[in-house]
C-alpha cells in the first residue's frame, strides 16, 4: 500500500510500506500537516490522546480536572495494567488517558495496548527469580518476575503479541537478547520488548557482544517481523575507555541482518555500539527518540547508524553524537604480554611510538621494579612523557580487559597512532612483541581516529526510502548524514560535522536517479577531521558511471529549501555551505529560501586569500532546470558568496541577495563576492550566469549571531557546546526535555533570522 509521497513537490521519491494506518506513526507527513491516519504531527501540537502537547497546551474539553489517568492508581481502561509504571498505553505520568491504540503516537511517544491473549513477562535482575513464572511484576512471596534475560525470552511465543518487560533501574551484565527468536502477530499486534517499574532510568545492559540481532541459524525464521524495542540502555563496556573491562572491542547495539521488518526502536541508548541494518527487510524500520553515542572501531569502519536496507527507514528525533571515532584515547593494544614477571626481567627496553604520524623512540626502559601490569604501564608512561615533553600523556592497563590504553589529549585525532618495532636499532630489548600481540584479524593494536569512511549516519542504500527528521546530529567522524541515494532530510540540527549532509555517490547502485527534499534544517558550523581539513554544509553529487559498472546515479528531482547554514568556525578548508557537483548531469533541482550566514573562517591565515564559499554549482554538460532563487547569502567576516564553472550549464539564478565583507569589486583573484575560476565583478557575474533580480546589500536580521551557546544561555544553562551535548545525551522518555530537541532549537535559530523591520 502506498502511504504518501515523501517529497510533496516532486514524484521522484516515494515511500511505500505494507502497514496499515499510515505505517503506525513510523513515516508520517511533515510537521503541521495531518498524517494519513489523522494522527499527530511532528511538532506534537495535536496530541494523539487529546491530552496536553509538548508545549503544555490545555487538554481538550471533556477531560475532568484532577490527576491524569496514568498517575491516579486506577486501571481506567480495564486492561489489568495500572498507570505509567505498568501500562504501555501511557507515555508517562502526565498522560491524561490510560487507553490508546497500539502504535499510535501520544505526546511524541509510541503507546501500546495488550491484546486479549497477550502474555506479559517481567524480568528483574534485582528482585527476580527464574523459579518464578515471570507473570507477576513485583515479588509477592510466592511469585514474581524472572531474573535473567534468557528465562524471560523462553516464555514468549512466536507469532503472538507477547510483551517482555525489564524493570527500570536494573543492571544486566553480559545478558543479551541475542538472535531474537520471535515475531509479533501483525503490525497492530506486535511483540514488544519494553520496561516497567517506578524508576525512571532505563534498564542498563552491560554487554561485550551484540545486544539484539536477527541472523540466520538457530532454527528461527528469516522473516522475523512486527517487533518493538523500547526504553533500554545498551553499554558496550569493552569499548568504554573508563571501564576496567576495556579492551577496545565489542558488538553492535542492534543488528538486523535478515528479512521481515516492521521494527521500531524507540527511547534506546546505544553507548559505544552502533545500529547495523542490513539483510533484505521489506517492511519499515524506524529508530525514534533514541541516543546513539561514541560508536568507534580500532581496526575497521564504524558509524552510529549503518544501513543498506531498501525498505522504508525513518530516523526521527534522535540524538546522534560522535559516531565513528573516539576522542578519549589515542591508541589501544589488546593482546599484550600480561605476565609482570616477563616484563620485570627487562632493563633495556626500547620501542617506537607514533603519535599523529610522528615517531618517538623510547630507549633504556627499566621494568625491573614493575611488580604489576599497572607498574609496566607507569614505566611506559614516564618514557612517553620524557620523549614528547608532554606531561598529560597517560598509559593505563585495564585489569579486567587486559589491554593497554594510551591517552594524549594534547595530540590531535590523527591518521597514525601506533607502536612500531625497534628491531633494526642496535642493542636493547624490542618491546613490540610484548606490546602488540595478534588476534584473528592481525596485529592487535588500533586507534579510534576519525576517517573519511566513518560518520554518524551512513545510509548507503534505500533508493530514497529514508526519512531523517528532527534529529540532533553532532560531531560525526567525517560527517553527520550521508543519504547516498537520497530521501527526505527535514528539520535536523547539525552541529560541528565535517559534512552536515551528503546525497549522491559513485558507490551507489547504478541505474536509478536520486533526489529528495532537504528542508527546514539548521547547520551550525563544520570542522576538520583527522585525515582531511573540511568545512562543508550540504554536498550533492551526480555520478555518470558508478563503480559497479551498472550505470549512473544522477541527481534528478531535488528540492533544497528553507535551511540555515551558519557560523562555521572549526572547518578550515574546503569551505562551502552548499555544493552541487559531479561528472553526471544534474536535472530538476530547486534551491530556494535558504540562508547562508558567516560560513567562512573566524580568521584568515592570509587576508588576501578568502576562498570560503557560500553556494557552489559545478554542473556538467547535460544539466538542466537548476533553479536557484530567493536565497540570502551573507559573509560578514569575508569570503565568497557563490561560485560556478566558467560556462554554467542548466543554471538559472534569480532574486538572490548577496553581501560580503570582502571587497567588491575584488582586489585580488582570491577574495571577493563572486567566483568563476577567480574572483569576478558583479557585471562579470551577471554576464556569465545570466542571473536576474539579484540584490546586493546587507539584510538586517533580528539576531543572526545566535548559536548553540547563546541558546544554552537563553534557557539558563551553561553556555557551551559541551554542556549542551552533556544534557542532550541524557534525554530519555521519563526525563524528556523538549527544549533540548532539534525542532525547538531550530526555531530559536530561525527566529534570529527574521528581518528586523524596526531599523
DSSP string, 148-194: SHHHHHTT--TTS--EEEEETT-EEES---EE-----SSSSS-EEEE
Strands (E), 297-366: 303-307, 313-316, 319-321, 331-333, 349-355, 358-365
- Answer whether residue 357 is part of any domain: yes
Q: What is the pLDDT of residue 63?
A: 57
As given in the structure block, the three cell numbers for residue 50 are: 487529546
Are 600 and 497 contained in the same domain?
yes
- Answer whether residue 313 is part of any domain: no
Are 345 and 478 contained in the same domain?
no
- Answer whether residue 644 is part of any domain: yes
Are 528 and 393 contained in the same domain?
no
As given in the structure block, the three cell numbers for residue 302 are: 564504524
Decide: 510 and 539 in contact? Cβ < 8 Å: no
Are 691 and 727 contained in the same domain?
no
- Taking alpha carbons only, the member of 13, 28, 9 closest to residue 516 is 13
Are 412 and 499 contained in the same domain?
no
Decide: 679 and 672 in contact? Cβ < 8 Å: yes
Last residue of a domain, one of 446, 479, 499: 446
Residue 384 backbone dihedrals phi, psi, to 5 degrees: -65, -40
- Taking alpha carbons only, the member of 406, 299, 391 closest to residue 354 is 406
345/369 Cα distance (integer angstroms): 9
Decide: 679 and 640 in contact? Cβ < 8 Å: yes
Strands (E), 447-563: 455-459, 466-469, 472-474, 481-483, 486-490, 493-495, 499-503, 514-519, 522-524, 535-542, 555-561
- Listing from the earlier edge strand, what are the strands of the sheet with 445-446? 394-398, 403-407, 331-333, 445-446
- Helices then strands, counting H and E runs in the chain, come out as 10, 56
Last residue of a domain, one of 415, 446, 477: 446
Spatial CB neighbours of 467, under 8 Å, sequence gap ≥ 6? 6, 15, 27, 312, 313, 314, 315, 316, 487, 488, 490
Residue 169 backbone dihedrals phi, psi, to 5 degrees: 90, -15
Q: What is the pLDDT of residue 656?
A: 99
Decide: 273 and 295 in contact? Cβ < 8 Å: yes
- Answer whether residue 349 is part of any domain: yes
The domain tally of the chain equals 3
Are 493 and 635 contained in the same domain?
yes
DSSP-derived secondary structure letter, 123: E
212/227 Cα distance (integer angstroms): 11
As given in the structure block, the three cell numbers for residue 116 are: 486479549
* DSSP 3-state of 432: helix
- Answer whether residue 604 is part of any domain: yes
Are 603 and 485 contained in the same domain?
yes
Q: What is the pLDDT of residue 460?
A: 92
Supply the Cα-derived Rg of the chain in whole angstroms: 28
DSSP string, 46-85: S-TTSS--TT-PPPPTTPPSSS-GGGSSS-TTSSS--HHH
Which residue ranges of the chain lie beneath pLDDT 70?
1-65, 424, 530-531
Residue 61: burial class (beta carbons within 10 Å; 0-12, 13-18, 19+): exposed
- Answer whether residue 299 is part of any domain: no
SS (H, E, C) 486-505: EEEEECCEEECCCEEEEECC
Are 587 and 680 contained in the same domain?
yes
759/756 Cα distance (integer angstroms): 6
754/297 Cα distance (integer angstroms): 43
DSSP-derived secondary structure letter, 413: P
Give the distance, in angstroms, between the CA of residue 187 and the centroid of all CA atoms in the same chain. 27
Decide: 293 and 274 in contact? Cβ < 8 Å: no
571/124 Cα distance (integer angstroms): 48
67/79 Cα distance (integer angstroms): 19
Are 691 and 719 contained in the same domain?
no
3-state helix, strand, coil in the chain (%, to 5): 10, 30, 55
Residue range(s) defining the domain that contains residue 553: 466-696
Are 354 and 475 contained in the same domain?
no
Ramachandran category for residue 154: left, alpha or beta (phi over 0 → left; psi -120 to 50 → alpha): alpha
Q: What is the pLDDT of residue 115?
A: 97
**CB count, 10 Å around CB of 264?**
23
109/735 Cα distance (integer angstroms): 13
As given in the structure block, the three cell numbers for residue 111 are: 503507546
720/716 Cα distance (integer angstroms): 12
Give the distance, in angstroms, between the CA of residue 609 and the centroid of all CA atoms in the same chain. 34
What's the half-sphere exposure (Cβ side, CA atoms, 13 Å) at 63?
16
264/24 Cα distance (integer angstroms): 10
- Answer whether residue 226 is part of any domain: no
Are 377 and 518 contained in the same domain?
no
What's the half-sphere exposure (Cβ side, CA atoms, 13 Å) at 440?
1
Are 435 and 560 contained in the same domain?
no
- Answer whether residue 439 is part of any domain: yes
Amino acid at each position: 500500500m502506498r502511504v504518501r509521497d515523501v517529497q510533496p513537490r516532486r514524484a521522484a521519491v516515494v515511500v511505500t510500506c505494507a502497514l496499515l494506518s499510515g505505517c503506525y506513526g513510523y513515516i508520517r507527513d511533515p510537521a503541521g500537516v495531518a498524517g494519513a491516519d489523522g494522527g499527530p504531527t511532528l511538532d506534537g501540537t495535536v496530541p494523539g490522546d487529546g491530552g496536553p502537547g509538548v508545549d503544555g497546551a490545555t487538554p481538550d474539553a471533556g477531560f475532568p480536572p484532577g490527576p491524569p489517568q496514568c498517575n491516579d492508581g486506577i486501571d481506567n481502561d480495564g486492561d489489568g495494567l495500572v498507570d505509567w509504571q505498568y501500562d504501555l498505553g501511557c507515555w508517562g505520568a502526565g498522560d491524561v488517558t490510560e487507553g490508546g491504540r497500539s502504535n499510535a503516537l501520544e505526546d511524541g511517544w509510541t503507546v501500546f495496548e495488550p491484546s486479549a491473549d497477550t502474555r506479559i513477562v517481567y524480568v528483574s535482575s534485582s528482585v527476580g527469580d527464574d523459579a518464578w513464572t515471570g507473570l507477576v511484576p513485583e515479588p509477592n512471596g510466592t511469585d514474581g518476575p524472572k531474573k535473567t534475560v534468557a528465562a524471560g525470552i523462553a516464555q514468549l511465543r512466536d507469532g503472538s503479541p507477547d510483551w517482555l518487560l525489564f524493570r527500570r533501574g536494573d543492571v544486566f551484565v553480559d545478558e543479551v537478547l541475542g538472535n531474537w527468536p520471535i515475531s509479533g502477530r501483525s503490525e497492530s499486534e506486535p511483540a514488544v520488548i519494553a520496561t516497567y517499574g517506578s524508576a525512571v532510568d532505563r534498564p542498563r545492559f552491560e554487554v561485550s557482544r551484540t545486544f539484539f540481532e536477527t541472523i540466520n541459524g538457530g532454527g528461527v525464521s528469516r522473516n522475523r517481523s512486527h517487533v518493538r524495542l523500547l526504553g533500554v540502555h545498551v553499554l558496550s563496556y569493552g569499548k568504554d575507555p573508563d571501564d576496567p573491562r576495556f579492551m577496545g572491542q565489542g558488538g553492535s547495539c542492534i543488528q538486523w541482518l535478515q528479512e521481515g521488518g516492521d521494527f521500531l526502536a524507540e527511547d534506546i541508548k546505544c553507548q559505544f555500539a552502533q545500529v547495523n541494518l542490513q539483510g533484505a527487510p521489506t517492511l519499515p524500520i524506524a529508530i525514534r527518540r533514541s541516543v546513539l553515542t561514541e560508536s568507534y572501531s580500532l581496526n575497521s569502519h564504524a558509524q552510529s547508524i549503518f544501513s543498506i536496507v531498501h525498505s522504508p527507514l525513518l530516523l526521527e528525533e534522535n540524538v546522534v553524537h560522535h559516531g565513528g571515532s573516539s576522542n578519549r584515547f589515542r591508541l589501544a593494544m589488546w593482546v599484550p604480554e600480561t605476565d609482570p614477571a616477563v616484563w620485570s626481567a627487562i632493563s633495556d627496553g626500547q620501542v617506537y611510538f607514533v603519535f599523529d604520524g610522528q615517531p618517538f623512540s623510547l630507549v633504556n626502559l627499566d621494568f625491573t621494579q614493575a611488580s604489576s601490569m599497572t607498574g609496566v604501564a607507569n614505566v611506559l608512561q614516564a618514557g612517553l612523557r620524557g620523549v614528547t615533553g608532554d606531561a598529560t600523556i597517560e598509559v593505563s592497563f585495564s585489569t579486567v580487559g587486559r589491554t593497554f590504553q594510551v591517552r594524549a589529549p594534547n595530540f590531535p585525532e590523527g591518521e597514525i597512532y601506533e607502536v612500531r618495532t625497534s628491531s633494526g636499532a642496535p642493542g636493547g630489548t624490542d618491546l613490540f612483541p610484548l606490546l602488540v600481540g595478534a588476534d584473528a584479524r592481525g596485529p592487535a593494536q588500533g586507534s579510534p581516529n576519525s576517517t573519511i569512511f566513518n560518520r554518524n549516519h551512513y545510509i548507503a542504500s534505500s533508493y530514497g526510502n529514508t526519512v531523517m527528521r528532527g534529529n540532533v546530529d553532532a560531531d560525526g567522524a567525517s560527517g553527520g548524514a550521508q543519504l547516498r541515494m537520497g530521501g527526505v532530510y527535514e528539520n535536523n540540527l547539525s552541529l560541528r560535522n565535517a559534512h552536515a549532509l551528503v546525497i549522491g555517490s559513485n558507490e551507489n547502485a547504478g541505474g536509478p536517479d536520486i533526489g529528495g527534499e532537504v528542508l527546514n534544517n539548521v547547520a551550525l558550523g563544520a570542522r576538520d577531521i583527522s585525515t582531511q581539513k573540511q568545512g562543508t554544509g550540504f554536498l550533492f553529487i551526480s555520478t555518470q558511471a558508478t563503480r559497479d559498472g551498472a550505470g549512473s546515479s544522477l541527481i534528478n528531482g531535488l528540492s533544497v529549501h528553507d535551511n540555515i547554514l551558519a557560523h562555521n568556525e572549526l572547518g578550515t578548508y574546503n569551505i562551502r555551505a552548499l555544493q552541487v557537483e559531479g561528472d553526471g548531469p544534474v536535472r530538476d533541482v530547486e534551491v530556494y529560501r535558504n540562508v547562508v550566514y558567516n560560513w567562512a573562517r573566524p580568521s584568515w591565515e592570509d587576508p588576501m586569500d578568502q576562498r570560503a564559499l557560500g553556494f557552489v554549482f559545478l554542473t556538467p554538460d547535460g544539466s538542466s532546470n537548476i533553479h536557484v532563487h530567493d536565497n540570502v547569502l551573507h559573509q560578514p567576516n569575508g569570503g565568497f558568496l557563490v561560485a560556478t564553472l566558467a560556462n554554467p550549464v542548466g543554471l538559472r539564478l534569480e532574486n538572490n541577495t548577496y553581501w560580503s565583507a570582502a571587497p567588491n569589486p575584488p582586489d585580488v583573484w582570491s577574495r571577493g563576492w563572486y567566483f568563476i575560476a577567480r574572483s569576478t565583478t558583479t557585471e562579470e557575474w551577471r554576464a556569465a550566469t545570466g542571473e536576474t533580480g539579484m540584490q546586493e546589500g546587507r539584510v538586517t536580521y533580528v539576531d543572526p549571531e545566535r548559536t548553540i551557546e547563546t541558546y544554552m544561555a537563553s534557557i539558563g544553562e551553561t553556555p557551551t557546546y559541551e554542556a549542551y551535548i552533556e544534557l542532550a545525551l541524557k534525554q530519555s522518555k521519563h526525563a524528556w526535555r523538549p527544549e533540548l530537541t532539534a525542532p525547538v532549537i531550530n526555531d530559536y535559530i530561525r527566529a534570529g533570522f527574521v528581518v528586523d523591520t524596526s531599523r
